[in-house]
Amino acid sequence: MLTLDKLHICQGDFHLRADLTVPRGARCAIMGPSGGGKSTLLAAIAGFLPPVSGRILWDGQDITAQPPGERPLSILFQDQNLFPHLSVAQNLAIGLSPQLRLNADQQARIDQALDRTGLQGLARRKPGALSGGQQSRVALARALLRARPLLLLDEPFAALGPALKRDMLDLVDAIASEQGATVLMVTHDPEDARAFADLTLLVAEGRAHPPQPTGPLLDNPPPALRVYLGG
């Protein structure tokens, strides 16, 4: 369970407050107007933005002071999720051991992750030689390998076409189910939220609101969300 306990984040003169919990194993969409603080919220959870006050807890344990790499989570950014000068296999290995020293067991896990994400035979390629969809799969494969209980998606599939994006979300869903992981996903698309997320968390007007069931929330949106969705 992810708990944001009276969290106050400040970036310049932008303020965001959050006091909420996301249950373990949930698929939670994060929606709200542009510039509302969706990415800021993820950056704070991931540890890139120290909060002014409040705490971030995972299963009751305070992780507010932990450095990003040690938190029980993986994050996929909008872009730059791969090191372009390293091969696909190295990009995966770096998720297991930053020193790139792997034992036979870890090597086998990398091969499994490549199979699982449909990247067989691409291990030695550089990211530049992959399609956009394949690049997303490599990033997902690394998250799969790291097997952290919380997965944060900051619109990593925004540049993909609708069909490809749906494929990726299915893959995320399958991987998260296997691992019992909790997923927080920023999205602009209500259809994505309906298809993927049982819960939706609205970020608007300086507040991150507690997550609510996606269907009812979108069917009957509060004013801030209604303006954003239009119509």
Angle, helices 88-96 vs 104-116, to 10°: value is 120
Contacts (CB under 8 A) with another protein, residues 1-60: 46-48, 50
Site string for another protein, 121-140 (x = CB under 8 A): -----x--------------
CB closer to another protein, 36 vs 95: 95
CB closer to another protein, 91 vs 200: 91
Give the nearest distance from C-beta 139 to another protein in angstroms: 10
How does DSSP classify residue 211?
Answer: P
> In the block, which residue shows the tokens 């002071």?
65
Q: Does residue 114 touch another protein according to CB under 8 A?
A: no
Give the nearest distance from C-beta 69 to another protein in angstroms: 2
Give the nearest distance from C-beta 226 to another protein in angstroms: 33
CB 5 within 8 A of CB 18: no
Among 5, 54, 77, 221, binds another protein (CB under 8 A): 77
Site string for another protein, 79-98 (x = CB under 8 A): -xxxxxxx---x---xx--x
Phi, psi of 59 (to 5 degrees): 50, 40
CB 2 within 8 A of CB 58: yes
Among 74, 117, 135, 214, binds another protein (CB under 8 A): 74
Interface with another protein by CB under 8 A: which range of 6-14, 61-69, 105-113, 212-220? 61-69
Phi-psi region of 100 (alpha: psi -120 to 50; beta: other; left: phi over 0): left
Measured CA distances, 227 to 4, 180, 204, 216, 224 (Å) = 26, 35, 11, 17, 5
Q: Please give the radius of gyration of the chain, using alpha carbons only, rounded to the nearest integer.
A: 18
User: Which of 131, 132, 127 lies closest to 156, judged by CA?
Assistant: 132
What is the DSSP secondary-structure string of 52-89? SEEEEEETTEE-TTS-GGGSSEEEE-SS--S-TTS-HH
Give me 151's structure tokens: 């997965």
Among 67, 223, 230, 231, binds another protein (CB under 8 A): 67
CB closer to another protein, 116 vs 142: 142
Give the nearest distance from C-beta 137 to another protein in angstroms: 17
Which spans of this chain sit near another protein (rule: CB under 8 A)? 46-48, 50, 67-70, 74-75, 77, 80-86, 90, 94-95, 98-100, 126
